[in-house]
A and B are shown apart, each in its own frame.
Chain A
């Protein structure tokens, strides 16, 4: 019997919402309780304290992790200091071999890591599978290659390692940020004490296991879990010679104050309020993809997210229509489902922050758009959100929301676009969409942002330096530039 056109379309809609395609979690073994990774083995914390880490999509407890106190942090730094003596004198080619080995194990255990990252952090499995884990492995692979070529990286200098690096990382890309921090530090001959974020410690716990599997000498990598207090202990410990922090501008400022006069080297990678600038001659359909990827990737929990959309007024109408249509096709739901585009918000606190800022946007007079979207009952969720009629002075145009919320502003000329884009305390990234090559170069020259993407957004590569201007921080991670902060080059 022939199916009518209408029946066919109705059926299509129903079926192409896609049957659930959950990634299996059978191969993942999460322990009920984790200790601290100090001196090459998992040890019980002196504090005797543990705290739970939950799955933000279900609010179910996944495991308990240790809360490191002053004595725990001291033990970790001392273990790192002891390991530094031999690690820094190891033949550089040997350091390479360890890093290559870690990179290989990351690839071998990619599925397990991706699932844990998604369960602990709420990001869609397709992102942890296709972005976080492969890039993490790529970072170790890249810096493994530099370990025995430091003198070629910095000709006519005498690159020497600094000592123990204290590193504090955020919850938005847990394993990737760990890789950004640990890989260059180890390649340069330092040892590390790393503190993962309190809401996403599990992939770091798996990484501790990988260090043991790679037979990395004890103490070269130490991982202490805990909240802000623990992080503060790590960066202020006198045995730490170099501090690297990725996180909020607020905490970054505190750290900078804390370290003033200590002689410690510091790099900060902080917040952002990036402008994604679309000119009238841009390839619109691809620009729409770039806008979506810029702000809805990882639920907008991205420091370089394109959270301000600057559109040339002449194309604002068709672009907004295309963008709204595209938003309606985004799938929000179970992060472990392979077809999910938008996962769970990382924590209740973050969800409340997003809700508060969105509320302020409505209050201040911006026009809200959210596609029809059913939010699961349990867990922390926020629908993809778009604000039009936004003024530069609104909080949603100035403050980092760190959620799936886009503020749309318009401009008339390239000069105005630059002026508006730069009118922020931040300066981490920017995007330019145009068919005109010369305009891309002109914009890149005038935008005060560490990264300027042309006709794309949120693309990362280990060979490419990343970092900010102004209140987005200083120092670069990635590429040769990423080695310098971990070396004494005088």
Chain B
């Protein structure tokens, strides 16, 4: 259980967070992306990718029917094949939490809900807190909140910090993932600062993006966040999870994230408790690649259900 730090001079502390060299970070991420993952390693990586997946739908057009279909897909990604594991969670808007909770009951799949005026976060703290409480009450096990980037970029770190603390409290027993929306933060220095801030305020996970802003998750940005986690764990001993979200559509990308995770945070992080991939269309590509590895040939997309 995290304890929020009480800091009076948060601003100056934040400015003291160690910097990131952009060229070096991108070089390292690019190098790791060249790792060659084959055969048994690949099959296991793909299996892990499914177990760590937050299958997501975040559209204005989401209906109970759409969520129901997604839940079924999440529990049993490939009908008739029991060797394919369930995903980690189904991620929906707060209003769709009751639908997801109903359909996931009895399964291992968790209900995750975005909250705090997702995706912009431009609303009143009181509303964000209420929204979080209601989502948890409706059955959400996990809350994906967004930070107030307006406050962060204007240097009001205290506001961002206090808001995360308040939302963490509103979560009760639900797990809190804090979305930094790295695509709006502009520099890796800011990403690192926001990561440390979110973890200090009590985040269980830090997450790259909403998926609504470009660029969303990238390998270098994920590397910078994982390195921040590594330093935070070293200081506090509290393991914090990492979630990459937005733009991850292929098995190859998913594997690249797993390699990054393994080489930066180590094997202890390779579990859904500490790593998630947020994605809406990745699952079928992973299923297709698993089939390819097992049989040696690609199957038609028609053999994979569209949720």
Contact = CB atoms under 8 A, between A and B. Distances in A.
Interface stretch (A10-18, A182-190, A440-448, A473-481): A10-18
A18 B263 CA distance: 12
A16 B48 CA distance: 12
Given A9-B271, A283-B19, A289-B24, A16 B262 contact: yes
B51 interface: yes
B41 A19 contact: yes
Interface in A1-38: 2-3, 5, 8-13, 15-16, 18-21
B34 interface: yes
Given A9-B268, A13-B267, A456 B18 contact: no
Contacts of B267: 9-10, 12-13, 16
A454 to B, nearest CB: 10
Given A11-B44, A16-B41, A289-B28, A5 B271 contact: yes
A287 B25 CA distance: 10
Contacts of A289: 24, 27-28
Question: What interface size band does chain A fall in?
Answer: 20 to 34
B294 interface: no
Contact of A283 (B24, B44, B45): B24
B214 to A, nearest CB: 25
Contacts of A2: 108
A430 to B, nearest CB: 17
Interface in A286-313: 286-287, 289-290
Interface in A419-475: 435, 455-456
Contacts of A21: 36-38
B35 A286 contact: no
A126 interface: yes
Interface string B244-263: 00000000000000110011
A456 B23 contact: yes
Given A5-B273, A19-B40, A21-B36, A285 B20 contact: yes
A2 B234 CA distance: 30
B270 interface: yes
B302 interface: no
A339 interface: yes
Contacts of B44: 11, 15
Contact of B39 (A11, A16, A19, A456): A19
A9 B270 contact: yes
A247 to B, nearest CB: 29
Interface string A87-110: 000000000000000000000000
A213 interface: no
A440 B33 CA distance: 30
A338 interface: yes
Kindly name the residue among A5, A18, A126, A287 whose own CB sees the greatest number of chain B CB atoms within 10 A.
Answer: A18
Contacts of A339: 35-36
A424 B249 CA distance: 53
B27 A16 contact: no
A15 B19 contact: no
Contact of B41 (A3, A9, A18, A284): A18
B227 interface: yes
A15 B259 CA distance: 11
Contacts of B27: 289
A318 B42 CA distance: 34
Contact of B24 (A9, A11, A281, A286): A286
A20 B39 CA distance: 9
A15 to B, nearest CB: 4
A15 B49 CA distance: 14
Given A11-B44, A15-B41, A286-B28, A338 B23 contact: no
Contacts of B42: 19
B24 A8 contact: no
B59 interface: no
Interface string A353-390: 00000000000000000000000000000000000000
Interface in B263-282: 263, 267-268, 270-271, 273
Interface in A106-161: 126, 130
A276 B37 CA distance: 33
A20 B18 CA distance: 37
Contacts of A15: 40-41, 44-45
Contacts of A9: 267-268, 270-271
Given A281-B19, A456-B24, A12 B262 contact: yes
A329 interface: yes
Contacts of A455: 21, 23-24
A112 B220 CA distance: 32
Contact of B271 (A8, A318, A338): A8
A321 B44 CA distance: 31
Given A19-B40, A285-B20, A285-B227, A329 B263 contact: yes
Given A3-B51, A5-B271, A12-B270, A18 B20 contact: no
B273 A19 contact: no
A286 B21 contact: yes
Contacts of A19: 37-42
B259 A16 contact: yes
Given A2-B108, A339-B36, A8 B28 contact: no
Contacts of B259: 16
B50 to A, nearest CB: 12
Given A15-B41, A338-B34, A455-B24, A283 B18 contact: yes
Contacts of A456: 23-24
B25 A338 contact: no
Interface in B163-200: none
Given A11-B44, A16-B259, A16-B262, A286 B20 contact: yes
Contacts of A20: 38
Given A10-B267, A12-B262, A12-B267, A435 B40 contact: no
Contacts of A318: 234
Given A9-B270, A16-B270, A19-B40, 15 more contacts: A8-B48, A8-B271, A12-B270, A15-B44, A18-B36, A21-B36, A130-B34, A283-B20, A283-B21, A284-B18, A286-B23, A289-B27, A318-B234, A455-B21, A456-B23
Q: Report, nearest first, the 4 A-B pairs whose CB atoms are least far apart.
A: A286-B24, A12-B270, A21-B36, A286-B21
Interface of A: 2-3, 5, 8-13, 15-16, 18-21, 126, 130, 281, 283-287, 289-290, 318, 321, 329, 338-339, 435, 455-456
24 contacts: A2-B108, A3-B85, A8-B51, A8-B271, A9-B270, A10-B267, A13-B267, A15-B40, A16-B258, A16-B259, A16-B267, A18-B35, A18-B41, A19-B37, A19-B41, A19-B42, A283-B18, A283-B19, A284-B18, A285-B25, A286-B20, A286-B23, A286-B25, A455-B21
